[in-house]
C-alpha cells in the first residue's frame, strides 16, 4: 500500500489542486485499488483500510506499508487495536508489515505511481478539468 500526492505534471499546475491518492495491489488478483483523499494522514489511512476491508469481507488482510508515521501511530494504530482486540497475531483480521524506512524500491505501488505520473506528464494536454 502506498500514497502519493500529485505533483507538477503540467504547465497549468496549481498548488491548490494538490490531491492525495492511496493505492494497494492485491497480489493474488493483481487488481489495483486507488482512492483519493484530502491528505495523507491517519484518518485517511483508516478510511482507505475500511474500503479494502469492505472489498475483501470475511478475509484476513495483510498490508505491507511504507513507514510513514501515520501508519504507525495515532488514529491508524487505534484502529488496528479496535479491529484486533485481544486476539493473538495469527487471528488478527488485519496484519501490518512495514517496509524498511526510506526504501521506495521495495514498494511495488511506487512503480504504479511512476507509470501514472509518466503517463500524465506525456498526455497532460488531453486531460480536462471539471
DSSP 11-54: TT--GGG--EEEEEE-TTT--EEEEEESSSSHHHHHHHHHHHHH
Question: What domains are there in the chain, each with its CATH number?
Answer: 2-126 (3.30.420.10)
Provide, rounded to the nearest whole percent, the portion of the chain with pLDDT above 90.
41
Q: pLDDT averaged over the chain?
A: 83
Q: pLDDT by residue (tens digit) across 3-19? A: 555 544 455 555 556 67
pTM equals: 0.76
Q: pLDDT by residue (tens digit) across 74-118? A: 899 999 999 999 999 999 999 998 887 777 788 888 888 889 889
Q: Can you give the pLDDT at residue 34?
A: 93
The DSSP 8-state label assigned to residue 105 in this structure reads G
Residue 95, CA distances (Å) to 20, 39, 85, 87 in order? 24, 23, 12, 11
Amino acid at each position: 500500500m502506498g500514497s502519493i500526492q500529485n505533483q507538477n505534471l503540467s504547465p497549468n499546475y496549481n498548488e491548490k489542486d494538490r490531491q492525495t491518492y492511496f493505492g494497494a495491489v492485491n497480489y493474488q488478483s493483481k487488481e489495483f485499488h486507488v482512492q483519493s483523499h484530502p491528505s495523507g494522514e491517519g484518518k485517511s489511512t483508516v478510511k482507505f483500510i475500511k474500503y479494502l476491508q469492505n472489498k475483501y469481507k470475511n478475509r484476513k488482510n495483510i498490508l505491507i506499508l511504507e513507514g510513514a508515521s501515520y501508519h504507525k501511530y495515532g488514529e491508524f494504530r487505534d484502529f488496528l487495536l479496535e479491529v484486533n482486540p485481544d486476539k493473538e497475531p495469527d487471528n488478527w483480521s488485519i496484519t501490518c508489515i512495514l517496509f524498511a524506512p526510506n526504501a521506495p524500491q521495495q514498494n511495488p505501488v511506487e512503480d504504479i505511481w511512476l507509470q501514472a505520473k509518466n503517463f500524465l506528464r506525456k498526455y497532460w494536454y488531453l486531460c480536462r478539468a471539471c
